[in-house]
């Protein structure tokens, strides 16, 4: 049996474990909160897409000796605006627009990359390494978290309304399209920041799985965000611990922990429904 | 200085456009439409052609016609959801969008994501948002107005239900409650009594009468021809985007 001491030992002993713990907590909170909108607005595909479309920005920034993060942010914002523009007024469905921007930007990145001699410099930023986050990364994640969570909090009622009834929003003069752009931009910032710290796969998982888990357990928006954050942080801590204890890849361990929590929530809901059906029949 | 900064801030119209209240033009009709032409969304094909109608303040106009006649299109145009191609459309003497406080619109039920995690009470509260603007949270008075309207529509016991757990009739009443919470002068209802239970039909009929007595103006798309005489003051018949006739209904109120 694992004791509490065993559980906290790696975090007390190693600074890099403390740093990665902090990164996972912040990225988990950030991704899980905005992830609730991603899931409710059926944009699950977009996190994955954004994670790939930053590639040309990174490559160009690298060639010109600029900050890779800045390149990623610019490419992410361009993607977000491109998706918003292509799918405005339902000319194209949003998932189609995402598919087009995703492949275009990723192919552009590959093309640019093929002109360089080595691919290796880019793999780090694309796949990230949660065990290797620096204090600089942590500051960056902290600042982006404040911006994104602050905006979501300030405009909560507007984001909520445009998510389920954009028509009423338009009728009362609320610009649903601009709020959609705002959300896409916040999402681009989130994804770019999270990728640098924890990689593409972990970012996609943190955006979708905790929010989906929470959506099985409640039908209140604020509670859904809270549960999603708890799920993300729990998965982060469990995953980090397992990756240390059994010497397995940390990102993958966290994603699997997320999936297991989702599975448990699913199982719990199914059992609850079956039981309430059973009681209803035999009472 | 703070006041001027605040005025500038409002003028940015970043998310809300023209959200300030604008007074109506004196002695204007609630709705005045002349030779109105409207395109279908994203197409250069006319959905409405040469519609003309005048709705005095405090009266009730029924829009009648087969499916696809343009009833919903007309309501959406008045609500400011579709651009006008040509012609005139004035609401209390002002162009569309000049004052969002004054127009409430009840869409057809299918246009809302009913699975969204929000309660009936909060859905009705979204009717107050036009008065709040951004950054302001609902005040106790806003909640009081919302709760009174919920009670008036017989929904008090369901106030904390998630909106997807309501029946079709209850959802329709919730949308009507939201339109009332807005405290608008011109109320646009798109098929409020289609596919709802008898209780909801009776409540909605009663409300239309009450609202008109309070001086509200109503424009209602309806299939329910039996109640035309009792519920409305005049009727606009539409077919394939054109106006077949407009007539006043003779009855004593």
Fold of B58-80+96-248: Rossmann fold (3.40.50)
pLDDT tens profile A182-239: 998 999 999 888 887 777 778 888 999 999 999 999 989 999 999 999 999 999 999 9
- What's the gap in Å between the CA of A38 and the closest CA on chain B? 12
CB of A42 within 8 Å of a chain B CB? The answer is no
pLDDT tens profile A47-62: 778 878 888 888 888 8
The CA–CA distances, whole Å, from B3 to A102, A108, B7, B133 equal 46, 50, 6, 16
- Chain B contact residues (CB < 8 Å to A): 13-19, 41-42, 79-81, 97, 100, 103-105, 107, 111-113, 116-119, 126, 129-130, 132, 134-135, 137, 162, 164, 178, 182
Q: What is the pLDDT of residue A126?
A: 60
Q: Which residues of A touch B113 (CB under 8 A)?
A: 40, 163-165
Report the residue of B112, B121, B126, B189 to disrupt the A interface, i.e. the one with the largest count of A CBs within 10 Å.
B126
DSSP state of B162: B
Q: Check if the beta carbon of residue A180 is closer than 8 Å to that of residue A110.
A: no
CB contact under 8 A, A164 and B118: yes
Mean pLDDT, chain A, rounded, equals 86
Q: What is the pLDDT of residue B253?
A: 41
Report d(CA A73, CA A185) in Å as an integer: 10
Compare CB distances from B117 to A170, A172, A218 and report the shortest one's residue: A218
Which band of pLDDT confidence, cut at 50, 70 and 90, is reported for residue B117?
very high
pLDDT tens profile B151-164: 998 899 999 999 99
Report d(CA B151, CA A98) in Å as an integer: 44
SS3 of residue B186 by DSSP:
strand
Q: What is the pLDDT of residue A124?
A: 62
CB of A129 within 8 Å of a chain B CB? The answer is no
Closest CA to A209 of A257, A258, A251: A258
The angle subtended at Cα A148 by Cα B120 and Cα A16, nearest 5°, is: 125
**Domain boundaries defined on chain B:** 58-80+96-248
Q: pLDDT at residue A250 above 80?
A: yes
The full set of domains in chain A, from first to last, is: 4-274 (1.10.3470.10)
pLDDT tens profile B170-202: 999 999 999 999 988 899 999 888 778 888 888
């Amino acid at each position: 049996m694992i004791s509490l001491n065993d559980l906290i030992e790696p975090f007390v002993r190693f600074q890099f474990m403390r740093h990665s713990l902090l990164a996972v907590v912040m990225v988990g909170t950030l991704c899980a909160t905005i992830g609730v909108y991603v899931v409710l607005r059926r944009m699950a595909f977009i996190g994955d897409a954004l994670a790939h479309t930053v590639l040309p920005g990174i490559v160009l920034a690298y060639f010109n000796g600029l900050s890779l993060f800045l390149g990623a942010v610019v490419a992410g914002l361009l993607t977000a605006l491109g998706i918003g523009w292509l799918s405005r007024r339902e000319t194209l469905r949003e998932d189609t627009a995402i598919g087009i921007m995703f492949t275009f930007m990723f192919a552009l990145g590959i093309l640019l990359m093929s002109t360089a001699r080595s691919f290796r410099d880019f793999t780090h930023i694309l796949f990230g390494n949660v065990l290797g986050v620096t204090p600089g990364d942590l500051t960056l994640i902290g600042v982006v978290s404040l911006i994104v969570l602050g905006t979501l909090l300030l405009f909560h009622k507007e984001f909520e309304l445009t998510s389920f009834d954009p028509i009423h929003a338009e009728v009362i003069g609320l610009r649903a399209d601009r709020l959609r752009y705002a959300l896409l931009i916040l999402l681009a910032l989130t994804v770019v920041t999270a990728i640098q710290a924890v990689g593409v796969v972990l970012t996609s998982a943190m955006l979708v799985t905790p929010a989906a888990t929470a959506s099985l357990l409640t039908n209140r928006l604020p509670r859904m965000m809270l549960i999603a954050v708890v799920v993300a942080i729990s998965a982060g801590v469990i995953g980090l611990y397992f990756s240390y204890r059994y010497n397995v890849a940390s990102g993958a361990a966290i994603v699997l922990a997320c999936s297991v929590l989702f599975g448990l929530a699913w199982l719990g809901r199914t059992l609850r429904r079956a039981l309430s059906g059973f009681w209803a029949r035999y009472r | 200085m703070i006041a001027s900064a605040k005025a500038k801030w409002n003028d940015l119209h970043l998310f809300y456009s023209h959200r300030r209240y604008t007074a109506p033009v004196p002695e204007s009709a609630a709705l005045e439409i002349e030779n109105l032409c409207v395109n279908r969304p994203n197409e250069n094909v006319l959905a409405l052609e040469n519609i003309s109608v005048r709705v005095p303040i405090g009266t009730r106009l029924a829009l009648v016609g087969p499916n696809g006649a343009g009833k919903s299109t007309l309501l959406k145009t008045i609500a400011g959801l579709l651009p006008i191609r040509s012609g005139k459309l004035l609401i209390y003497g002002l162009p569309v969008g000049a004052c969002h406080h004054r127009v409430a619109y009840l869409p057809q039920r299918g246009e809302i994501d009913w699975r969204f995690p929000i309660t009936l009470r909060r859905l009705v509260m979204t009717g107050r948002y036009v008065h709040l603007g951004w950054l302001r949270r609902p005040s106790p008075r806003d909640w009081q107005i919302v709760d009174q309207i919920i009670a008036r529509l017989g929904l008090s016991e369901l106030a904390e239900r998630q909106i997807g757990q309501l029946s079709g009739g209850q959802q329709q009443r919730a949308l009507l409650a939201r339109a009332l919470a807005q405290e608008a002068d011109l109320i646009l209802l798109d098929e409020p009594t289609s596919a709802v239970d008898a209780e909801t039909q009776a409540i909605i009929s009663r409300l239309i009468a009450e609202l008109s007595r309070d001086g509200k103006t109503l424009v209602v798309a309806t299939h329910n021809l039996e109640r035309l005489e009792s519920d409305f003051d005049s009727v606009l018949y539409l077919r394939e985007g054109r106006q077949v006739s407009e007539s006043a209904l003779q009855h004593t109120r």
